[in-house]
Structure 1
Amino acid sequence: MSTRLPQDRQDSLIRAGRAWCFGDHISTDLMMPGAQVLAGNDEGRPAHLWCFEAVRPGWAMLVEPGDLIVAGRNFGCGSGRNGAQLLRKLGIGAVVADSVSRAFFRNAVNAALPVMDCPGVSDLVSEGDRLVLDVVAGTVGNETTERTLRSEPMPLDSPPMQILLAGGFDPFVALVRAGFDPRAGRTVPDTKDEYHD
């Protein structure tokens, strides 16, 4: 029996929210400051509430669920710290940037945090603008200015898109173990009993 991922999973990659703007070369070290998060010098504050403390003190406490990050070039550069998990725990709905580092991109996808490379987006958006991101279609709509920008979307059958559609890496692995063939976009029969009597 062939089944495709349900339309509601594709629709789940449409995110709307308020924009928080950051510049170029925003490092994962700023998202996940080592002195507080890694060294245990957290003053009793949960790790996700230290995001961007060095460059925007108190920012994490202003974020509301569904808010979006818009950034310039090379967002998530630096170390391999998984700042995407903290952003997701904070309630960030998605990240869209002129460009995103590959390590951050993969960490974000694995954490089920939608992320888009969209050259020119930092010029389209001002902080506080209301945005609608459609990760599947590759569009960023600015409801405040009524302007739209299109980027090249990830193919639906690409591994990163399949992981996002599954809800992150762990749910994706569970789907594959249950017989979902991400290359074909359908469930494959479980044949292990034929070989292991």
Structure 2
Amino acid sequence: MENIITGKAYVLGDDIDTDQIIPAEFLSYDPSKPEERKYFGMYANVGVPKGQRGLPDGDIPFVPENEFKTEYTILIGGKNFGCGSSREHAPLAIAEAGAKVVIAEFYARIFFRNCVNGGYLLPCESVQRLVEEVKTGDNLEVDLEKAEVRNTTSGKAYALKPLGDVKPIIEAGGVFDYARQSGMLEK
């Protein structure tokens, strides 16, 4: 895993739930089939209500229509990101779209664990509220060693809470890969 991740920010509001991240109508795709898995990326965040997509503008699509990938590699969320159902397809959809990191004030714990267990995304938590500090399209630099995110567009830096014990699981590609690599499961 890279210690520094750079890219454009995509800003969402508070209480973004898993049904908004990947609506139920798109769960018929099979994530184990590469020709179908890409559709999770195409439909990532399509259920987020207008007014909360791509803040401060509020109506910027995460993935352009009829595309599979986004130009945004870092998602900024508010409070209670990933609430709702235990839908593990939510972090998968964001990752399939091309994002690498989600930074939120705090997460619904099941979303946080699904990010880690699947090795899909880095779920970083901010020390302060970033949804009013960062704008969609700003260029960011996430430094995992320093536990900070720097907005290279504005020049401001913000502290992140350390990833702690979950970092090796994400680096391994998920909980099962971590267990195999550390000898807990047979290879």
TM normalised by structure 2 equals 0.76
- 1:101 partner amino acid: A
Q: Tell me the residue number matched to 1:59.
A: 62
Matched, 1:114 2:122: yes
TM alignment of 1:83-162, pairs within 5 A: 83-112=90-119, 113-118=121-126, 119-155=128-164, 158=165, 160-162=166-168
The CA distance in 1 between the partners of 2:114 and 2:143, in whole Å, is: 20
The count of residues paired between Structure 1 and Structure 2 equals 163
Are the counterparts in 2 of residues 114 and 135 from structure 1 also a CA contact under 8 Å?
A: no
Are the counterparts in 2 of residues 117 and 151 from structure 1 also a CA contact under 8 Å?
A: yes
TM normalised by structure 1 equals 0.73
RMSD, aligned α-carbons: 2.6
Shift of 1:37: 2.2
Worse overlay, 121-130 or 163-172 = 163-172
Shift of 1:176: 1.6
Q: Which is higher, the Rg of structure 1 or of structure 2?
A: 1
Deviation sequence 1:48-79 (CA, Å, 0-9, x none): 31112133585323753661100111110000
Worse overlay, 60-69 or 111-120 = 60-69
Are the counterparts in 2 of residues 124 and 142 from structure 1 also a CA contact under 8 Å?
A: no
Deviation sequence 1:78-122 (CA, Å, 0-9, x none): 000010111111111110011111111111112321111103222
TM alignment of 1:1-197, pairs within 5 A: 9=1, 12-38=2-28, 46-54=39-47, 55=49, 59-61=62-64, 63-64=69-70, 67-82=73-88, 83-112=90-119, 113-118=121-126, 119-155=128-164, 158=165, 160-177=166-183
The CA distance in 2 between the partners of 1:74 and 1:136, in whole Å, is: 25
Unaligned runs of 5+ in 1: 1-8, 180-197
The CA distance in 1 between the partners of 2:143 and 2:109, in whole Å, is: 20
Unaligned runs of 5+ in 2: 31-35, 54-59
Q: 1:22 to 1:154 in 2, by over 3 A?
A: same
Are the counterparts in 2 of residues 16 and 66 from structure 1 also a CA contact under 8 Å?
A: no
Q: Tell me the residue number matched to 2:33.
A: none
Identity %: 26
Are the counterparts in 1 of residues 10 and 62 from structure 2 also a CA contact under 8 Å?
A: no
